[in-house]
Amino acid sequence: MIEIEDYEEVAKRELCEIRNEAVTKFELQEVTITLRTGNSQVRDDILAIVVSVGHRKRAFSGCKYILERIKERTPAWRRKILSDVERGG
């Protein structure tokens, strides 16, 4: 299991700025970013980026831009939670 924490206020502000940058840079019509926090399994989806634009290349470029900026600028921390078996308990 993995626990993901963030500074919610700072993360929301950064996600909004990243979204606005991508809209301007790639002329995107709509963008939705969902970053999951809390407990999840190792292979669970924790990020969804949805864009709407008339051209596929701009859509993929916009998504890649958003993903890379999130990794660089959004304060989120992951912590692996070991089961009792993994801890030797």
Q: What is this structure's pTM?
A: 0.73
pLDDT in tens, 19-65: 999 999 999 999 999 877 666 666 766 789 999 999 999 999 999 99
Q: Sort residue 41 into left (φ over 0), alpha (ψ -120 to 50) or beta.
A: beta
Phi, psi torsion values for 30, nearest 5 degrees: -140, 145
Domain boundaries 2-84, corresponding CATH code = 3.90.1170.40
pLDDT of residue 85: 47
pLDDT of residue 22: 97
Q: How many angstroms separate the first and last alpha carbons of the chain?
A: 16
CA distance 26 to 41: 33
